Amino acid sequence: MKVYYNFENYHVQKPVVTVGVFDGVHKGHIAILDRVKHSAQEVQGDTVIVTFWPHPRLVLNQDVSIKLINTIDEKLQLFEKIGVQHIVIIPFTEEFSKISSQQFIEDILVNKLKVNHLIIGFNHHFGKAREGNFELMNEYSKQFGFTLEKLDAQMVENEKVSSTLIRTSLNNGDIITANKYLGYDYMITGKVVEGKKIGRTIGFPTANILVNQDYKLVPKTGVYAVEVEVSGKRYPGMLNVGYNPTIDPARTKLNIEAHLLNFSGDLYEMDITLLFKQRIRDEIKFEGLDQLKKQLNSDKAEVLKILGV
């Protein structure tokens, strides 16, 4: 897979193109990408994804409240796994947001990408103030000589799959629904940093995880069954997202800490990935460490059951 941050080295034969932010690279996106791959095979061309970074809402609204499903690195990993050949990442700036729909089509799609066939999703909008839509794109496609195709929304249990729906599920702690719409386990990657080491005194040492990007969505506080990927190997784990009210009642900063089962070794300063499977319960304040330990043993049994270990 080739990744382009400009068009200097872009040379693609009969490009079959799709355009979007693709936060989540979820089942709806995957349906589009599968269609792009199939169409490219039909015309003996190459698959091309055009995406934008940063997320437009981070730039236009300076919306610090929005949390994203994917980092750019996660998104690229998912694209590569799907088998896309070319990724063009356009830096999204205020200046770029002001170009018209016709300018986007003529300058980007036609002159720079040399689009042969364009595939877009059911609610695709583009250009200044999102003025462009399928009908407008259809007119331009005839003018500029490329073919166009629109795909219907993808449904899961009578719901249209969307990034917004997935974010809502994650914010509610509904990992099962989020994973169902994503088509894979929701993931967070972070660096293991030093904590207070209280967990080891009750038989549950934890890896305290610093999330690498501030905009990455962290699911609702609580206890989760997870798999933890360390250096390419996965371990069952139990994860707490919260404020540790039993140990540190005054804490105001969110903490993410994982207890890895069947693991021994030093994780400090390592990047590890959490793969979310299911939320078990709310975070609870206990009267003391003995009650906490009792609950953690119960959580461990539940995690092992969920993960089938």
Distances (CA, A) of 212 to 191, 197, 219, 270, 273: 7, 21, 15, 12, 11
Domains of the chain: 2-160 (3.40.50.620), 186-307 (2.40.30.30)
For residue 157, count other CB atoms closer than 10 A to its CB. Answer: 7
pTM above 0.85, yes or no: yes
Q: Give dist(CA 145, CA 49) in Å, integer.
A: 19
- Of 57, 76, 79, the C-alpha closest to 67 is 57
Q: Give dist(CA 159, CA 177) in Å, integer.
A: 11
Q: Give dist(CA 283, CA 253) in Å, integer.
A: 14
The pLDDT assigned to 64 comes to: 63
CA-CA-CA-CA dihedral for 195, 198, 200, 201, to nearest 10: 160
Segments in the chain below pLDDT 50: none
The pLDDT assigned to 286 comes to: 87
Alpha helices by DSSP H, the chain: 27-43, 56-60, 72-82, 94-97, 101-103, 134-144, 163-171, 175-182, 289-307
The string over 288-301, giving b where at least 16 C-beta atoms fall within 10 Å of a residue's C-beta and e elsewhere, is eeeebbeebeebbe
Adjacent-strand bridge partners of 155: 160
- Of 205, 256, 267, 276, the C-alpha closest to 230 is 267
